[in-house]
A and B are shown apart, each in its own frame.
Chain A
Amino acid sequence: MAIGRNESNHDAVRTRFTLPRPTEEHGWIASALLVTLLVVVPVTALVIVSTADSSGAWRHLVDTKLLEYVRNTTVLILSVCIVATLIGVAAGWLITAYEFPARAVLDRAMILPLAVPPYLSAYAYSDALQAGGPIESWFRGTLGWSDAGAWPIDIRSLPAAAIILALALFPYVYIAARQAFESQGYYATVVARTLGMGPIRSFARVAIPLAWPAVIVGAGLVLMETVADFGVADYCAVDTLSTGVYRAWFGMDAPSAAARLSIVTLGGVVALLLALWCVRRAIPVHHAASTRPSQRVVLSRASSICVLSVCAIPVVLGAVVPTVVFVVNAVGVQPGTRMESFLGNALDTGVLATIAGLVAVALGLVVTYAKRLTRSRLLHALISLSTLGYAVPGTVIAVGLLIPLSWLDHTMNSIGTRWGGDRETLGLLLTGSLVAVVLGCQTRFLAVSAGVIESSLGRVRASIDEAARTLGVGATSSFFRVHLPICTGGALAAGLLVFVDVAKELPMTLMLRPFNFDTLAVRTHQLASDERLGEASLNALGIIGVGVVAILILSVIGTAQPRSVNGTRTDGLNHD
C-alpha cells in the first residue's frame, strides 16, 4: 500500500515488532474480501456435498445422461459461438466500412436483440414454426401439403437452439468488432488498398487480424451466456449440463448428484476461461497509429440494398419477429383476463430487481474502491474472485447457495427449538425469503456492476486520490467526497444493467425464489411450458420493454461525452 497507517501525528507509534493497527484501508479491503464469499461459499458447498453418498443417482447419471449433457453443451457452445461471430463480425465490418441508407439507424438497432432474452425467442419461434403453427398452416394452405410429417423445421432440436441463441447473443460480438474496426482508423485499410489489395483482401489480411482480440472478448461473452443458458435448452428439449443440474436437484431430488454435476460444469467453465485467456495472450494487441476515423465507401443502390438486407436480417430475426409474435398473441387474449396477474408479476420483478440492483451497486463500489486502495497483486487477485460468478451458470449458483442456506435455516430452527422456541415461528428465514435469490443475483451479476463502476472510476487518476490525501482527507472521506460524486453516472448505469439482468434472469430466480413470488420471467416460463403462450405474451412483452428502455438509456449515457477527469488512470507513480 502506498498510504500508511491511520494515526495522528501525536500518537504515531513505532511499527517495529508490533502488528499493524487497523486502518480505514484495511476496513475497505476486509469488506471486499468478505464479498468474495459470494463465490467462495457456493463453490465450497458444492465440493463438500459432492463428496457425500448420492444413493446411486450419480451412477445413474454417469451411465445414462452425463455424456449426452457434455456433448450437447459442447456442440451448442461451438455452434452458437461460430454463428454469432460470423454475424457480428460481418455486420460490424459492413457498418464500419460502407456508407448506405439507414446505416446509422441500423448501427443502433444491431444491439436490440439484447433486449429479448433467448428463452423468449425460443417460445416465440416455437409458436410460429411448430407443426400446426401459423407458418406451417400457411404453407400447407398454399402448397397443398397433406402429410403432417413433411414439415422440415423441428424447433425442439439442438440446431434450432443454437440458431436462436446465436440470433439473441450476436450483439456481444458486434459491439466488440464494431469498436475494433472503428478504432483501426483511416490508414489501416487505406495502406492495404494502396498495396494492391481489394476490399475483401484488405478486410481479411488487415482488418480482421487487428480486430481479433476484441472479437475474442465478444465471443467469450457469447460462450459464457451459452453455458449459462437454461431456458432455450429446456424449451428446445436439448439436454445440457445446465438443465441437468436443474433436473438432478428438482426432478431426481439428489443434491449430491446435482452438486457433482455442478462441479463438472464449473470445471468446464474454468477450462473454457483458461482457453480464452491463453488465446488472448497468444494474440498480440495492436494499437492504431492514427486517430483519424475510417473513410466509408459509398455503395451503389443495388449494393446498398444487399448490405442493408444482410445487416437487417439478424435484427429482424433476433428482436422484431419474437416481439411481433408476442404482440399478436397478446392481442388474441381476452382483455383484462391476465392484467392482474401481470401487474403482480411486474411488481415482484421490480422489487427483486431494485433490491438486487442497489445491493450490487453497493458491493461493486466496495470491491472497486478496495482494489484501488491496494497495490498488492495477491489482494487484487483475491478481491477479483468475487466477479467470477458471471461465468457460472445460474443453476449451479442456485444449487451452491441452496446447500449452505438450507443448512443455516435448519440449524437456526434447531437452535430455536432447543431454546424453547416454536419451530413454526422461525421458518425458512433465508431460503424462504428474498435473501437467497438476492444473494444469488449478487454472485452472478456482481461482475456487471463492478465492471461498469471500475470503468467509471478508472477515468479518475490515482493522483486525484493523492491530492485528496495531502489535503487531510482519509480513505473513507475521500470515497464519499471525491470518488462517489465522480462515478455517480457509472454507478447508476451499473444499477440499471443489474436491474435488467435480474428482470431477465430465469434459472436462478426459478430455483431460489420464495413461495408465491413469481417474476415476469418465471411466470412466462411456466405459462410457455404449459403451451399457454397467449397468456405469457403480456409478461414477455414486459421483459422486452424493460430491456428496450435500458438500451435506450444506456445509449443516451454512452452518447453523452464524458467530462474529462484528467485522463485515464495511471499507476500514479511519477518517476519525475
Chain B
Amino acid sequence: MTKRGHHDADKKNSGLIVRDLSFAYRSADPVLTGASVVIPRGEMHCLNGPSGTGKSTLLRLIAGLERPTGGSISIAGKQVSGDGVHVPPEHRSVGMVFQSYHLFPHLSAWQNAAFGSPLSSRRARRAHANDLLDRLGVLGCAHAKPHTLSGGQQQRVAIARALARRPSVLLLDEPVRSLDDASATISLDTIRVATSDFTPSILLVTHDTKNSSSEFAARSTLQYGQIRANERTHDDKGAADAAVPHPNQA
C-alpha cells in the first residue's frame, strides 16, 4: 500500500491509527520499535502478548501519558502524537480503563462515573452517569464508595467512568484479568452494549492468549516491540488490515 493509500484509509477509518511507534523509558532498552495498528470506528481489537512486552506502555502512549520517541498516533482523523505534536491526555478523545481501575476513593460510584462527563448541569451529569451504571448493571451501588465494591463492580464503574466522555477510542488494560471465561465474555458483551450509540474504537490488551471472545474484530500480538497481526474474526467491516504493514513492507 502506498503512503497516499494509507492516508485515504486513515480518513475513511477515522478510528485509531498508530504508525511506526517507538518508545524507550529513560536509559532503558526500547519498549516499542515501530509498532503499528489501525482500529476502525466501532471495532474491538484484542492485543495479546506476554508480560513485560510493552502492552500497557502502548496504551499509555495512545492516551498521551507518555511521549513517543518516534512514529505517530491519530485519533478520529486528527494527529495527536508525532512530528513534534503532543496533545495532552485531557484534550484527546480517549477513555482508559486501568488495570487496577484507580477509582477516586473520595467519590461515590455515580460521582466517579460522572467525573469526566462533558455535560454542564449536575442533574444531567448524574442522569447520564446513572444511565451508564444501569447499562453496566451496577446502578444498585451508585451511592457506594469504591472501597465497599467488589472487584467486578469496581471494574464496571471504571468502564462507566471512561465511557461518560463518549470517547473516540476506548483503551482497556487487562480488563478481564481477574474474571473467569464466562464472566469475561459477559463483561465484553456489556461494553459492546454500553458503547452501541457512539461506537468507539476499542483496544483491549491482555496477556491471556486463550481469550476466545467472538466480540473481537481482530487480534494481534505484541512481541519484540512490534505488533503482528494474527487474525480477523469479523470480515464485514471492510476496513483496512488490523495491523498496518510497516511502510518498508509496502
Known interface pairs A2-B66, A472-B118; A575-B25 also in contact (CB < 8 Å):
yes
- Say which residue of A469, A472, A486, A576 sits within 8 Å of B54 (CB atoms): A576
The answer, among A3, A14, A564, A574, for a CB contact under 8 Å with B89, is A3
CB of A251 within 8 Å of the partner chain? no
Q: Let me know if B147 is at the binding interface, CB within 8 A.
A: yes
A474 to B84, CA, bound (A): 21
Interface footprint category on A:
35 or more
**Residue contact B116 to A5, C-beta cutoff 8 Å:** no
Q: What is the bound-complex CA distance between A472 and B99, given in angstroms?
A: 19
Task: Tally chain B residues at the interface, Cβ within 8 Å.
Answer: 50
User: Is B125 among interface residues, defined by CB-CB distance under 8 A?
Assistant: no
Contact A16 B84 (CB under 8 A): yes
User: When the two chains form their complex, are residues B53 and A576 in contact, meaning their CB atoms are under 8 A apart?
Assistant: yes
Residues of chain A in range 531-576 having any CB-CB distance to chain B below 8 Å: 563-566, 573-576
Q: Is the CB of B31 within 8 A of A15?
A: no
CB atoms of A466 and B51 under 8 A apart? no
* Contact across chains for B86 and A4 when beta carbons are under 8 A apart: yes
Q: Is B83 an interface residue (CB 8 A)?
A: yes
Instruction: Give the complex CA separation of A29 and B100 in angstroms.
Output: 29
Contact of A9 with B by CB under 8 A: yes
Residue interface mask B166-191, A partner, CB < 8 A = 1 = 00000000000000000000000000
Contact between B54 and A6, CB atoms less than 8 A apart:
no
Q: Confirm or deny: A471 has a beta carbon within 8 angstroms of a beta carbon on chain B.
A: yes
Closest to B87 in A: A12
B 34-70 to A, binary, CB cutoff 8 A, 1 in contact else 0: 0000000000000001011111110010011111000
Whether, in the assembled complex, A47 has its beta carbon less than 8 Å from a beta carbon of chain B, the answer is no
Instruction: Check B115–A575 contact: CB distance below 8 A.
Output: no
- Which of B9-17, B102-110, B196-204, B227-235 lies at the interface? B102-110
Is A472 touching B165 in the complex (CB atoms < 8 A)? yes
CB-CB under 8 A from B243, the residues of chain A are none
Task: Choose, from B90-98, B128-136, B213-221, the stretch at the interface.
Answer: B90-98
- What B residues does A564 contact at CB under 8 A? 105, 147
Q: A4-B67, A463-B102, A576-B55 are in contact. Are A470 and B85 (CB under 8 A)?
A: no
Indicate if the CB atoms of B89 and A470 lie closer than 8 Å. Answer: yes
Contact A2 B65, beta carbon cutoff 8 Å: yes
For residue A572, which residue of chain B has the nearest CB?
Answer: B65
User: Which residues of B are found within 8 Å of A466, using beta-carbon distances?
Assistant: 60, 63, 65, 89, 96, 98, 102
- What residue in chain A is nearest B64 (Cβ atoms)? A4
Chain A: interface secondary structure? Answer: loop
Q: Known contacts being A3-B88, A574-B60, A575-B56, is A565 close to B83, with CB within 8 Å?
A: no
B19 at the A/B interface (Cβ < 8 Å)?
Answer: no
Return the chain B residue nearest A481 by Cβ: B115
Residue among B51, B80, B90, B92 with most chain A CB within 10 A: B90
CB atoms of B83 and A573 under 8 A apart? no
Q: Which residue of A lies closest to B106 (CB)?
A: A485
CB proximity of B209 to chain A, nearest CB, Å: 15
With both chains docked as a complex, state the minimum distance between the C-beta of B214 and any C-beta of chain A, in angstroms: 26
Whether, in the assembled complex, A7 has its beta carbon less than 8 Å from a beta carbon of chain B, the answer is yes
CB A520 to nearest CB in B, in angstroms, measures: 37
Within the complex, the shortest CB–CB distance from A372 to chain B, in Å, comes to: 14
> Which residues of chain B are near A473, meaning CB under 8 Å?
90, 115-116
Check A252 for interface membership: any CB of B closer than 8 A.
Answer: no
Write out the residue numbers on chain B whose beta carbons fall within 8 Å of the beta carbon of A410. Answer: none
Q: List 24 A-B contacts (CB under 8 A).
A: A3-B65, A4-B86, A8-B87, A8-B91, A9-B80, A9-B87, A9-B92, A9-B93, A12-B86, A14-B83, A14-B84, A15-B86, A463-B98, A466-B60, A466-B63, A466-B98, A467-B103, A467-B104, A471-B115, A482-B104, A566-B102, A573-B25, A575-B52, A576-B49
Enumerate chain A interface residues (CB-CB to B < 8 A): 2-9, 12-16, 23, 461, 463-464, 466-474, 481-482, 485-486, 563-566, 573-576
Q: Which 9 A-B pairs have the closest CB atoms?
A: A471-B116, A576-B56, A4-B86, A16-B84, A469-B89, A14-B84, A467-B102, A470-B96, A15-B84
Q: A-contacting residues of B (Cβ < 8 Å)? A: 25, 31, 49, 51-57, 60, 63-67, 78-80, 83-96, 98-100, 102-106, 115-116, 118, 147, 161-162, 164-165, 205
